[in-house]
Structure 1
C-alpha cells in the first residue's frame, strides 16, 4: 500500500509540473506564429485567440504524452538516485511491479489522448479551416485598415482607403497600386464599393483616374473614368464539400478504404498506441547508477521519444503513399515497440541475476566451492 501510494503521489506531482512547463513553452511559440500569420494577412486579427485555442488542442495529445513520459522517467530516476529502488528491490519488488501503479495514474491521461486524437483532432481542423476560409472569402478591400497600406492576398495589389461604412463594402479616397509582369498601374478614385457577381467579387470605383506604365517599353497611359470595375480577389473554393482527411471524423475514415484516409487513421491510432508504449518504455529506460551524477538516461529517453514520434509521422506518409498497409504498420511498428518495452523490463529484472551467476559460475555448488576456496586462501595469508 505504501509502495503504490508514494509512487502515484510523486508521479502525479511531477506530471503536473512538467505539463505546465511544456504547455507554456508550446503556447508561447504558437502565439508568436499565429501573430505572425495575422501580421501577414493570412488570418483575421480578431480570430487569433480562437485559432490559438484550436492549435493548442491539436498539440495537446503530444504534450500530454511527452509530459507523462518525462514524469515517469524523472520520478523513477530520482528513486534510483535516492536508493529507494535498491530498498524495493531488496524487499522482493521487481521493476515490472511498477507497471501497475504507473498505469493507475496514467490511464486517465491515456484516455484523454485517445479522445483528443480520434475525435477532437478532426473537429479542431474543421473549425480552423472554416476560420481561414471565411477570412479568405473576404474581399481585399475589407482587409485594409483605414489609413494604412496593405497588400492583397495574392500580393499583386496594394490598397489604401478611407472607409465610410460599417460593413466594409464602401470606401472613399481609394488608392490601388497594381504590379504585373510587364506593366504597373496606379488607380485612384473618390469612392468605391463592392459588388458580388456569382462567386466573383468586384470593386467598383467612381470618379477617378488610372496611370499605367509599360515596364518593357516605358510608355505611359493616363485614363480618367466615371465608373471602373476591378476584381477585388480571386475566387476561393469552399472545402466544405471535400474536406481534407485530417478534418474528417474517424468513423468516416474507417468506412473509406482510400490510402489518404487510411494514412490519417494510422496516425490517429498511432498517437494513442504510442502514448501507452512510451509509458512502458519509460519504466525500463529510467534505470541509472546512483553513484553516477549524469542525466544520460533522460537524454536517451528523450531521443527515443523523438525517434518514435517521427516514425509515427512517417507511417502516415507510408500508408497514404500506398507503400504499406495500415494493419501491417500498426502491428509491426507499435507491436514491435511493445515487445521491446516488455523485453527491456524483463532484462532489468533478470539481467542482474544472470550477471551474478556468470561471475560466480554455472550452478550454486561450484560457485559456493570457489567462494569457500578463496576464503581459505585469504585466511592462510
Structure 2
C-alpha cells in the first residue's frame, strides 16, 4: 500500500504539473484572441474572462489524457533514472503489479475526463454560446467607448465625447461611400433607434453636418441636417463553438442523426483514451539510466499524436455516416499495442538484439569479400 501511494503521488503530481502548463498555454492563447476581440469592439471586456471560464472544461477534457500520458513518462522515467525501479523490482514489484498500481491514478483521471466530457464541457459550451449570442445581439452603438476613436467591422470610425442618458454627445463618424470617397458626419448628439418591422438598428444623429468628398475637389459637398440616420450593422463575432458540441449528452443520446451519434461516441471515448494512454505509457517509460530521462519522450509523444489524430479523423468520418465501431476499433488497436509492449517487450528486445548481432557479424564478411 505504501508503494501504491508513492507511485500514485508521483504520477498525479507530474500529471497536474504537465496539465497546468498545457492549460496555461492554451488559455493564454485564447485570452489573447478574446482580448483582441474586445479591443476591436466585438466583445465586452467583462465577458472575456467569463467566456474563458466556460471554455476551460472543454480544454481540460483533451489536456488531461495528454497530461496523464506525459506525467507517467516523466514520473517513471525519473524512477528508472534514479534506479528506484530496480529496487522496486528487487522487492517483488513486477511489471504486472506496476501496471495495476498505475491504473489507480489513471482511473481517477479517467473519471474526471468522463465528468468533463459528458457534463461540464457541454454545459460550459452552452453557456459560452449564450454569452456570444448576447454579444452578437448588441449593436455597434452598445460597443462604443466614450472618449476614444473606435473602428467597426465595416471600416467605419466612430467617436463620441460622452454618453448621457443613452444619448451620445459630440459625435464624429468617418466612413467611405461606394466609390471610396470619404464621408464625415458631425452631430451634437445621437441616439439608437430600432425598426422592429425590418429588424434594423439605426444611429440617429441630431443637429449636425455631412461632408462628402475631399476639401478642394469640385464634387465636395456640405449638408446641414436636423436628423440623419446611419444603419448599424451587427458585429461579427466568431464564437468558434458548434451547436452540436454545446448539446447535453442526454439530448445526444435521444438523437438519431449521424453527427449527434458521432459527438456522443466521441465523449464516451475520451475516458477510454485516458486509460489506454496510461497503459501505453508504462512500457514506454522504461529507460536505461545511460540514455537519460527523456530518451523515449519524443517517440512516445509521436505515438500519442498518431492515436489522437486517428481518433479525430474517424470522428469526421462518423459525422459523414460511418459506423461507430470504427472509432472503438482504434482504441482496441492501441490497447493491443499496449498489451504487446507490456507482455512481449522482452521478446521484441531479444529479437532486435539478435537482428543487430547478426547484422554486425554479416558486415565484416561482406567487407572481406
Answer yes or no: same fold by TM over 0.5. yes
* Counterpart Cα distance in 1 of 2:94 and 2:347: 9
Local SS of the residue matching 2:142: helix
Partner Cα separation in structure 2 for residue 352 and residue 305 of structure 1 = 22
**2:10 alignment partner in structure 1:** 10
1:362: which partner in 2?
A: none
| Residues 179-230 of structure 1 deviation map (CA, whole Å, 9 limit, x = unaligned) | 244244221211111112223211111111222239xx98333322111122
Report deviation, 1:91: 5.0
Give the whole-Å Cα distance in 2 for the aligned partners of 1:68 and 1:229: 59
**Cα deviations by residue, 1:227-275 (Å, 9 ceiling, x for unpaired):** 11221223999x9xxx710111112122222233233224323322211
Structure-1 residue corresponding to 2:186: 188
- Taking the aligned partners of 2:329 and 2:20, their CA distance within structure 1 comes to 34
For residue 319 of structure 1, report the CA deviation from its aligned partner.
1.8
Map 1:21-100 to 2 at 5 A. 21-90=21-90, 93-100=93-100
User: Is residue 136 of structure 2 the alignment partner of residue 136 of structure 1?
Assistant: yes
Partners of 2:299 and 2:260 in 1: how far apart? Answer: 34
| CA deviation after TM superposition for structure 1 residue 135, in Å | 1.6
Paired residue for 2:327, among 324, 327, 330?
Answer: 330
Unaligned runs of 5+ in 1: 359-381
CA contact (8 A) 2:81 2:293 kept: no
Q: Quote the offset at 1:310 in angstroms.
A: 2.5
Change (3 A) 1:280 1:180: farther
Find the aligned partners of 2:71 and 2:168 in 1 and give their Cα distance. 57
Distance 1:2 1:227 in 2: 81
Q: Secondary structure at the match of 1:292?
A: coil
Q: 1:100 to 1:213 in 2, by over 3 A?
A: same
Q: Could you say if the C-alpha distance between residues 87 and 274 of structure 1 is closer, same or farther in structure 2, counting changes exceeding 3 Å?
A: same
1:176 to 166, 173, 176: 173
Higher-RCO chain (CA-CA 8 Å, sequence separation at least 6) = 2
Correspondence 1:85-124 to 2 at 5 A: 85-90=85-90, 93-124=93-124
| 1:70/1:211 CA distance change after superposition, 3 Å | same
Offset, 1:283:
0.8
Between stretches 263-272 and 57-66, larger displacement belongs to 263-272
User: What does 1:198-347 correspond to in 2, within 5 Å?
Assistant: 198=196, 199-213=199-213, 219-234=219-234, 244-293=243-292, 295-322=294-321, 324-325=322-323, 327-347=324-344
Check conservation: 2:117, 2:270, Cα contact below 8 A.
Answer: yes
When the two chains are superposed, the root-mean-square deviation of aligned CA atoms in Å is 3.0
SS of equivalent to 2:288: coil
Task: Specify every segment of 5 or more residues in structure 2 that has no aligned partner in the other structure, as ranges.
Answer: 356-369
Q: Deviations along 1:262-317, whole A, 9 cap, x unmatched?
A: 33224323322211111111112112222223623111112222222232322222
Distance change >3 Å, CA 348–CA 87, structure 1 → 2: farther
Map of 1:365 onto structure 2:
none
CA contact (8 A) 1:193 1:205 kept: yes
TM-score by length of structure 1 reads 0.82
SS in structure 2 of the partner of residue 69 of structure 1: helix
Name which one, 1 or 2, has greater alpha-carbon Rg: 1
